[in-house]
Amino acid sequence: MPHAELARSRGVHVHHLNIGQPDLATVAPMLEAYRLFDEAVIAYSPSEGFLEYREALADYYNRLDVAGSEIRPDQILVTVGGSEALLFAIAATCDPGDQILVVEPYYTNYRGFAHILGVEVVPVTTHASEDFHLAADRVREAMGPRVRALVVPTPGNPTGMVLRHGDLAEIGQVCVENGIFFIVDEVYREFVYPEDEEPSTLAPSVLEIPDLESHAVVIDSVSKRYSGCGVRIGCLVTRNPELRSACLCFAQARLSPPTIDQHAAAAALRTPPHDMQTMIDAYRKRRDLLVDGLNAIPGVSCPRPKGAFYLIADLPVEDSEDFCIFLLRSFDVDRETLMMAPAEGFYATPGSGRNQVRLAYVLSCEKLTRCLNILREGLLAYAAR
């Protein structure tokens, strides 16, 4: 960020593809709920979240193809964003000195929260040459005596990887066999892009997999689904009553999730399917434009993500962090430049990701086209230094 501030100080506009902040409008029902809120006192909410909101969430999850018993409100804990749900899940399943398995490359806060709790991250590496697919055998190979949980995002940040129903079942079985928890980050569930142009279906949920009642934990959030990143509401869903009770203890310690935001999040559940599909279609167009444009630049390559709105790209550089800083401090095209996230920070394996960047396709197609031109010209200028 200091390098981006320097670029702005010299009159250069910075296109931010380094962070998943969508530019699409927050859904209308959510905005309307904020406008209509008129209670005289903004009071604490229950530590587990308002019952009415948890009932609405249960209805939402039960519209998925859930296996076994339906999800009940008392199996849901409302949290301050998906981040707090993740923090609670790791804290409740691990003691200091324990380990969690994390799919690599991974969302950096997985490691950050583990570090806060004194928990060690053990990477399960996936590769661009395999579309970052996670195989159950790799999870099994990474298992050790101090492992207490596996954390998997699907659809994934930063790779866009989406696990199929069969993948979730196989990986879940490995978790059952080893007596560990299966924590699945499903924040981007709606954002999947089938190969054809048919309307998208939801990514499979771990809640759909039978025989995982004691092991499965879902992390969820309204931030990306409804383009409301500043609406700090998430939730944790589990059929394991002891785990939910442990997480509730942490929730009681922090008192309550935001009151007004829960009303807005409940309203967002009433967003018309057509509006959600419009958002998904916009991300698909952006994905296709960016992936095709990147792969057309000499030396650049990236697989086509199946979901979310992120991708990992290989660049023809030895140190992507140095290149990203160069773009901000020393380069522009018509007073515009580009900010990307060096990918080394998304890996636990030393030296991995040094020539990679993560991009979030959260800007308009017009802006993405300009970003591709900046990247192309920037690579030429960087090589010619």
Q: What are the tens digits of pLDDT across the range 300-322?
A: 999 999 999 999 999 999 999 99
- 20-24, 244-248, 378-382: least confident range: 20-24
Domain count, the chain: 2
CA–CA gap between residue 157 and residue 153 (Å, rounded): 7
Mean model confidence pLDDT for the chain: 96
Query: Among 286, 383, 384, 277, which residue's Cα sits nearest to residue 27?
Result: 277
Q: Span 249-259, mean pLDDT? A: 97
Looking at the fold, whether 202 and 318 belong to one and the same domain comes out as no
Q: Span 353-359, mean pLDDT? A: 97
CATH label of the domain that carries residue 253: 3.40.640.10
Looking at the fold, whether 337 and 379 belong to one and the same domain comes out as yes
Contact yes or no for 92/250 (Cβ under 8 A) = yes
pLDDT band per the 50, 70, 90 thresholds, residue 138 = very high
Q: Span 259-275, mean pLDDT? A: 97
Q: Is the pTM of this model over 0.85?
A: yes
Looking at the fold, whether 242 and 263 belong to one and the same domain comes out as yes
CATH label of the domain that carries residue 362: 3.90.1150.10
- 53-67, 79-93, 210-224, 245-259: least confident range: 53-67
pLDDT band per the 50, 70, 90 thresholds, residue 357 = very high
Looking at the fold, whether 184 and 249 belong to one and the same domain comes out as yes
Q: Which of 240, 268, 296 is the last residue of a domain?
A: 268
Looking at the fold, whether 54 and 166 belong to one and the same domain comes out as yes
Q: Span 102-118, mean pLDDT? A: 96
Treating both helix axes as pointing N-terminal to C-terminal, what angle do 273-295 and 365-383 enclose, rounded to 10 degrees?
20
Q: Span 197-206, mean pLDDT? A: 76
Looking at the fold, whether 309 and 220 belong to one and the same domain comes out as no
Is the alpha carbon torsion for 329, 334, 335, 339 positive or negative? negative
Q: Which of 214, 245, 268 is the last residue of a domain?
A: 268
pLDDT above 60 for 199: no
Looking at the fold, whether 205 and 279 belong to one and the same domain comes out as no
Pairing, β 234-237 against β 76-79:
antiparallel
Query: Residue written as tokens 């500043």?
Result: 230
pLDDT above 70 for 109: yes
pLDDT reported for residue 66: 72
pLDDT reported for residue 339: 98
Looking at the fold, whether 296 and 154 belong to one and the same domain comes out as no
pLDDT reported for residue 364: 97
pLDDT reported for residue 7: 95
Looking at the fold, whether 8 and 47 belong to one and the same domain comes out as no
Pairing, β 120-125 against β 99-104:
parallel
SS3 assignment for the chain? CHHHHHHHHCCCEEEECCCCCCCCCCCHHHHHHHHHCCCCCCCCCCCCCCHHHHHHHHHHHHCCCCCCCCCCHHHEEEECHHHHHHHHHHHHHCCCCCEEEEEECCCHHHHHHHHHCCCEEEEEECCHHHCCCCCHHHHHHHCCCCEEEEEEECCCCCCCCCCCHHHHHHHHHHHHHHCCEEEEECCCCCCECCCCCCCCCCCCCHHHCCCCCCCEEEEEECCCCCCCCCCCCEEEECCCHHHHHHHHHHHHHCCCCCHHHHHHHHHHCCCCHHHHHHHHHHHHHHHHHHHHHHHCCCCCECCCCCECCEEEEECCCCCHHHHHHHHHHHCCECCEEEECEEHHHHCCCCCCCCCEEEEECCCCHHHHHHHHHHHHHHHHHHHCC
Looking at the fold, whether 218 and 329 belong to one and the same domain comes out as no
pLDDT digit string, tens, across residues 322-355: 999 999 999 999 999 999 999 999 999 999 999 9
CA 299 to chain centre: 28
Q: Which of 237, 268, 299 is the last residue of a domain?
A: 268
pLDDT reported for residue 201: 77
Contact residues for 4 (Cβ-Cβ < 8 A; gap 6+): 14, 16, 328, 339
Q: Which domain holds residue 307?
A: 2-20+274-383
pLDDT above 80 for 82: yes
Looking at the fold, whether 129 and 240 belong to one and the same domain comes out as yes
Looking at the fold, whether 99 and 58 belong to one and the same domain comes out as yes
